[in-house]
Amino acid sequence: MDTFTTLALDGPGPWILFLPLIWAAVVVGVVTVLRRTVRRGRHGAPTYGERSPIAVLGRRFAAGEIDEEEYWRRLSVLDEQFGRSLKEGAA
């Protein structure tokens, strides 16, 4: 028997699954990234406007619900999360 006859009788073997598995991994990766992006955009806290966490914190401080120490402590945490510096001014 020559090489071509042997390949024809044995078939492609397990390597035939390699390319579909790679494509499946790519599709799953793309779907995962898209779902996380959409979910983050829909459920994420607003970073500006009346409902932003910094604005809510400012209203709570103005209403007397929290003291100045707690206000500054929480503002520093929000600044780390949303990338706003304290030099721009507080809510």
Farthest-apart Cα atoms in the chain, separation: 91
Per-residue pLDDT tens over the stretch 36-51: 888 766 555 555 677 7
Other C-beta atoms closer than 10 Å to the C-beta of 84 total: 18
> What does the pLDDT look like over 68-91, one tens digit per residue?
999 999 999 888 876 654 445 544
Rounded to 5°, the CA angle 75-84-42 comes to 90
User: Is the pTM value of this prediction over 0.75?
Assistant: no
Cα–Cα distance list, 20 to 11, 24, 34, 72 (Å): 17, 6, 21, 54
